[in-house]
Every structure is written in structure tokens, then in C-alpha cells.
Amino acid sequence: MNVFDRAYDDPVRVLDEDGTVVGEVPDLVDDELVELYRYMKLARHFDGRAVSLQRQGRMGTYPPLSGQEGAQIGSAFALGDDDWIVPSYREHGAALVRGVPLKQTLLYWMGHVDGNRAPDDANVFPVAVPIASQVPHATGAAWASTLRGEDDAFVCYFGDGATSEGDFHEGVNFAGVFDTPTVFFCNNNQWAISVPRERQTRSATLAQKAEAYGIDGVQVDGMDPLAVYAVTKAAVEKARDPDADRPRPTLIEAIQYRFGAHTTADDPTVYRDEGEVETWKRKDPIPRLERYLRAEGVLDDERVAEIEAGVKTQVADAIDEAESVPRPGPRDLFEHAYAELPPELRAQYESFAATREEHGDAAFLEE
């Protein structure tokens, strides 16, 4: 599949909304397709439980991913063992595929600093909450990898709102100039919190912004996991090839929709019409892939039930493990921001510590 010679407004598709093949199916064996489906089901179930935990006061603010499983899982499946992902704050599914346990993601949103420490064998950068701040990091890491003579690819995830930030333009421009092995993966989920896509830019597509930086840009149906896999695979292979006949960086615009809120602190009913949400739900990537796999004889009721049972157990176990870890202490509020506390924060800390000491709890007063 030559994905780089298409018009910017011609999204790559493999499956239509009914799961019917309308493009070139990527070369994945049956077991790989089932595993792709299982990870999508796992991410969706985890998402629902995580929102529930937040509503129950058992976890802090959480950014739901439902609706974006096709883009996250499909892209992560296309990477090699040594490739890296540089996430924003919503890539729980992609991070899971790349080796970050669900327990670790839960700990992060529960306020544990250790939740942002990926396992040593997982090539995953820390979560980036500031919008687009991770884009220059991804470019710099990719450039460093090239200077070391490595052939790793770096996939950087961000939302459509990030394309309005200076960090995005600086990072992509640098990648174009220095021909870094970077894949810029834009999750265009139509809304940057409450700001719609059409308020972000006058460009007809986000993919065409690649033109200004001399790199390839391609649009893909982000709710078609097979199309996302194929496009990301092609971009990653090009990124690893220093002798490629085209610049190595690629900007992918994955057209999709977040079904839920931007975060659990957000109320999307204030700015979104329910009819719009229902229209996009008919494009849901999970039943789309399931219908295709059933038609191919790869899935049946028994296999689906087995996957769903396993998913529920895995998520329940992750929640139990995360909640068994002692909650962070108040002192953690003052750590990890400065090498030395500024006088104002030290005064606040000492005042808070004195209050706690009066109530008989001075265990956190480490000096």
C-alpha cells in the first residue's frame, strides 16, 4: 500500500463502518488480528472502569479514550521492538501494547510519582500533560538516535489542538530539516476540550501541514484499526530507512472521535450535540473490526466471550494491585517540582506540616 501518494483529504481505509473490506488488508495472521481485537476490548473496558473509579473518588482526574482504540492499538501494533512512543496523556492503550501495565497507568492517575516510570524494557516516554510539549522531545530523541547510528523510529502522539501550539511547529520543522526518524501521529478527535476542529486552523486538513515542512503527510480513518496499522507501518519503515527516497518524518492525521469527556473534569454536553456523538458511535472501531473477523471465520461467540471474560479479570486484578499500593503522602505535593523549594512553598509546607503534627501525624516530616 503506497500511502504517501494520496491527496491529503483522501483518508486511507481498509474497512468501512460495517466491517466490509474496501481497501488493501494488511499482512496480519489470524492470531495477530485476534490480539489486536483483544487489546481494543481491554482498553475499552479499562476505560469504563477508570471513569467509574474517578467518580467513586478512588482516583484523580482521568482522560477517557473510548472511541480512539483503533488509532492507539492499530498504530502501536505497527512498531518494532526497539521503536519508541512519545505519548500525550490519553495513550493508555498504546502504552499498554508497548509494555506499560494497567496498574502503572492507574497509579499515575491516582497521584503516585512511580506511575510515570515505565518498565525498563518498555520504550515509552513519560506522560505529557502540557499540550504539544512532547513534540520537540520526540524530534530531539529521534535525532539523538540517528547520531548514535541506531535505526529506531519514534512515534509521537498528540491531539488536533496541539497543532495550534508553537511546540508542534518547531518540532515538525526541526524534524524536516534534520530528516529525523519521527512519525507525528495526530489524533484528530474533532474537539480540543471544547474547541472544535474548525476553530483550530483554516487548513482543509491537518495532514497537509506537512507540506510546509517538506515531509510526507497522510490522512487515515482513525476508527479503522487495520488502516491505521497499515499507514503507521509504512511510516515507521520509512523512518528507519536512512536511504529512503523521500524525507523520513511523516505526519499522520487519524480522523476519529472521543465518545466521552475530554477528562472527567469536563462536561461535553455543554458544547457537543448528542446527535453528533451518536453519528460517530456508528463508526465505533471495535464492532467494525469484530464484524470483519467474524465474517472471516476468525472470531465466533465463544471466542468473544472468552476474550471478554479475560479482559474483565485482567482489569479487576490491575485495580486491586494499584489500590494495594499505599497512597502518596502529603509531602509528595512538594516534591519533584524544584531542586530546592522556593521560600513561599517551603513556608506553605512548614505550615501544613505543623497542622498535621498537631493532629498527631508527623510521619511524613522527613528532612
Give the position of cell 471544547: 194
CA distances from 226 to 95, 259, 325, 347, 351 (A): 18, 20, 38, 55, 56
Q: What is the pLDDT of residue 364?
A: 45
61-85 pLDDT, tens digit each: 999 999 999 999 999 999 999 999 9
CB neighbour class for 73 (10 Å; exposed up to 12, middle 13-18, buried from 19): buried
Q: Which residues of 207-246 are buried (b: 16+ CB within 10 A; e: fewer)?
A: bbbbeebebbbbbbbbbbbbbbbbbbbbbbebbbeeeeee
- Give backbone dihedrals phi and psi of 364, rounded to 5 degrees, phi first: -90, 0
Q: What is the pLDDT of residue 2?
A: 85
Nearest Cα to Cα of residue 256 among 127, 84, 72:
72
Catalytic machinery residues? 258, 262, 271
Give the position of cell 511546540: 167
Q: What is the pLDDT of residue 352?
A: 80
* Mean pLDDT estimate for the chain: 93
CA distances from 137 to 153, 158, 174 (A): 13, 12, 11
259-311 pLDDT, tens digit each: 999 999 999 999 999 999 999 999 999 999 999 999 999 999 999 999 999 99
Annotated domain spans of the chain: 3-323, 329-367
Q: What is the pLDDT of residue 256?
A: 98
Tell me how far apart the alpha carbons of residues 193 and 315 are, in angstroms, rounded to a whole number: 27
Q: What is the pLDDT of residue 328?
A: 82
Model-level pTM greater than 0.75? yes
Tell me how far apart the alpha carbons of residues 138 and 144 are, in angstroms, rounded to a whole number: 10
Tell me how far apart the alpha carbons of residues 42 and 105 are, in angstroms, rounded to a whole number: 13
Distance spanning both ends of the chain, measured CA to CA: 60
Grid cell of 289 as nine digits: 473490526
- Torsion sign, CA atoms 80, 82, 88, 89: positive
Q: Which residues does 222 contact at the CB level (< 8 Å), separation at least 6?
A: 68, 70, 71, 187, 188, 189, 228, 254, 255, 256
CB neighbour class for 309 (10 Å; exposed up to 12, middle 13-18, buried from 19): exposed
Q: What is the pLDDT of residue 315?
A: 98
Q: Residues, the chain, total?
A: 367
* Topology adopted by domain 3-323: Rossmann fold (3.40.50)
What are the residue ranges in the chain where pLDDT is below 50? 362-367
Tell me how far apart the alpha carbons of residues 109 and 327 are, in angstroms, rounded to a whole number: 12
Give the position of cell 523549594: 341
Q: Which residues does 208 contact at the CB level (< 8 Å), separation at least 6?
A: 8, 217
- Torsion sign, CA atoms 68, 98, 55, 192: negative
Q: What is the pLDDT of residue 358?
A: 67
